[in-house]
Amino acid sequence: MTDFALPIRVYVEDTDAGGIVFYANYLKYMERARTELMRSLGYDKPALFDGLQFVVRGVELLYHKPAVLDDEILVTARFEKVSRVTFTMSQQVFCGDELLVEGTIKVACIDVQNKRPCGIPKPMFETLKSHLG
């Protein structure tokens, strides 16, 4: 599968006093891209479904260069690994051809009631596996 890509415009609310994107906002951009990727696969409520929930278990980011006010950035998402309980995604943020931020995000499936890990439903698991990068 090619990378899923989501264009995002940088607004004043995304930046610090110097017009540079606040570092934590890249996590928000990546969350949006993951959500839209799941939606493109037919999962309209990817964070909460049938008593299950996806939660971020781990994040690793590397910042190369900042985005600034009014930039149009492109946020990508690609499945790298899928297991019965977790999946790992590779994500990047670009401005034009320039790589700004790259990261790896590990997401776990949990039971909404007891907050413990549980298996990704089989049809979804198969769909995610079929979209491995």
**Per-residue pLDDT tens over the stretch 47-91:** 667 789 999 999 999 999 999 999 999 999 999 999 999 999 999
**DSSP code for 19:** S
Q: What are the structural domains of the chain? A: 4-130 (3.10.129.10)
Tokens of 114: 């007891």
- pLDDT tens for 1-46 read 568 999 999 999 999 999 999 999 999 999 999 999 999 999 887 6
> pTM for this one?
0.93
* Contact present, 118 and 85 (Cβ < 8 Å): yes
Q: Are the beta carbons of 8 and 29 closer than 8 angstroms?
A: yes
Helix (H) or strand (E) holding 48, with range, is strand 48-49
Answer yes or no: 16 catalytic: yes
Rounded Cα–Cα distance for residues 111 and 127 (Å): 20
The whole-number pLDDT of residue 1 equals 53
Residue 5 and residue 76 in contact, taking contact as beta carbons nearer than 8 Å:
yes
The active-site residue, picked from 14, 16, 70, 111, is 16
How many C-beta atoms surround the C-beta of residue 36 within 10 A? Answer: 16
